[in-house]
Amino acid sequence: MAIIIDGKLLAQKIKAGISAEVKTAVDSGKRVPALAVILVGDDSASQIYVRNKKKDCEEIGIRSLEFLLGNDTKIEELIALIESLNKDDTVDGILVQLPLPKTLDEKQVIAAISPDKDVDAFVSSNVGQIMLGTQIFLPCTPAGVMEMLAEYNIDVEGKECVVVGRSNIVGKPMAMLLLAKNGTVTICHSRTKSLAEVTKRADILVAAVGKAKLITADMVKDGAVVIDVGMNRDSNNKLCGDVDFDNVKEKASYITPVPGGVGVMTRAMLMKNTITSWKRRIK
């Protein structure tokens, strides 16, 4: 039976540390850190994420600025807003909630964010820094995974690491962070042949494709560490991940639950990136 990696507990620990740091600095006369979140459209999942991020900010002592824009927002309006926030010295982080309406060019919007305020680490120059190992900001979900591994004393060095998924947000940067810790990394995707044969080699298996219960027990090596990044709904409309949790936990040594695993850690890492930016700016 696997040990459950408690992302919720770890996130609370991280946020408590950040909160104490912010309070000490603000009490000594430093300005309050600020995160600007832009939500375009009425995607229900995005609205939930934004509400949760606002709660995190309130809990830590970060000023949360919300910009709620309609589905009919023109790209010129959105970029003008981003540019005004880039110039605002009291704003430390800018986050544009994805996905955007299809009428807007996601790449163009992300490129408009100042790299110094790119707390999602999506801007191309920041992505390049991750490749070089010289980053200021780490992408939130992969960074959250690495924090979880460290908290549970799971050593990556020399381990066979398999990442299922090659997205720019999770899969690719996840592979880079595992590689930076001297893991031997394989990336799988929709064109991978004999997926189960690859995943069964993994000492550390990260599932990040967005397909409910894709990873079944017969695809997992005995004693593997299984990290589930997915957030889906099953046939009963119940939240679940990319991993068949109930069956895989019988084979794994460690496993993350959904919910209560990687998702809450992603938000904690966003807070951490915002504070990193704030500390650099108040100096």
Q: Which residues are catalytic?
A: 53, 97, 120
Counted residue by residue, the chain has a size of: 283
What's the burial of 200, exposed, middle or buried (CB within 10 Å: 0-12/13-18/19+)? middle
- Cross-strand partners of 164: 188, 207
Dist CA 272 CA 119 (whole Å): 9
How crowded is the C-beta side of 195, counted as CA atoms within 13 Å? 17
Which of 140, 128, 192, 139 has the alpha carbon at shortest distance from 163? 192
Strand ranges in the chain using DSSP code E only, listed in sequence order: 3-4, 34-40, 63-69, 93-96, 160-164, 184-188, 204-207, 225-228, 232-233, 239-240, 254-255
Is the separation of the CB atoms in 200 and 233 below 8 Å?
no
Work out the number of other CB atoms within 10 angstroms of the CB of residue 16.
12
Distance of CA 21 to the CA centre of its chain: 22
Joined tokens for residue 186 = 């394989």
Kindly give the interhelix angle for 44-60 and 7-27, rounded to the nearest 10 degrees: 50
Tokens encoding 239 = 């939240």
Rounded distance, CA 67 to CA 36, Å? 8
